[in-house]
Every structure is written in C-alpha cells, then in structure tokens.
Amino acid sequence: MDSLLTRQSLDPAFFASLPSPPWLRLEKDTPSGGKFWSCTIQEHGIDLHWGKRNTQGQRLALAITRCNRGNPIREARSRIFGKLKEGYRLVSSYGPLP
C-alpha cells in the first residue's frame, strides 16, 4: 500500500498505466455463515462491496472528494486496516496491497 502512495506522489497519473485497478477481498467467519468485504482502488475514488457470503451484497462507490485527504489509497488503507482489526482475513488480491 505504501508503494502505491509513493508512486502516486511521484506520478499522479500512474493509475492510467496499470493493467487493472488494485483490489482485495477480505472474509470473516461468523456463526451465520460468514461475511465478505472488498475494495477496489480507482483513480476517481474507491469501490466497496460487502455482505454475507454467497449473496450479492451491497456496493458503494466513494468519490475522491469523500476520501481521506482526497486520496483513494489513504482511504482504502484506513478501511482495510479497520477490517483486519475486526477479524477479517485476506482471501485474494491484485496489485501492491498489504
């Protein structure tokens, strides 16, 4: 995640050079069958997707203006660490994420 922040500070347009946006999926076991949470970092903000496993869940597109200091990478990092503290575990990812 820090490598993304560094690259973004050196080249604000670097997202355009990526083959696809960085993303990750976290899951947490619960008595009712478990939950998932995923985050995709976009140039314009972050896309969140969460819910019970094996359901369509809910989606939210968070615009860059609503991100931590106007930075989607910082916003995603904050949310990811919060989910990890809640007991979620990394299931899959693409790109330089923690």
> Given a cut of 80, is residue 10 above it in pLDDT?
no
What tens digit of pLDDT does each residue of 40-92 get? 999 899 999 999 999 999 999 999 999 999 999 899 999 999 999 999 999 98
Residues above pLDDT 90, as percent of the chain? 64
* pLDDT grade for 6, boundaries at 50, 70 and 90: confident
* pLDDT for position 98: 42
Phi, psi at 3, each rounded to 5°: -65, -35
Expressed as residue numbers, the domain containing 50 is 2-94
Quick check: 14 and 3 in contact, CB under 8 A?
A: no
CATH number (domain holding residue 71): 2.20.140.10
Evaluate if residue 32 carries a pLDDT over 70. Answer: yes
Residue 18 has pLDDT above 90, yes or no: no
CB atoms within 10 A of CB 91: 13
pTM, full prediction: 0.84
Tally of structural domains, the chain = 1
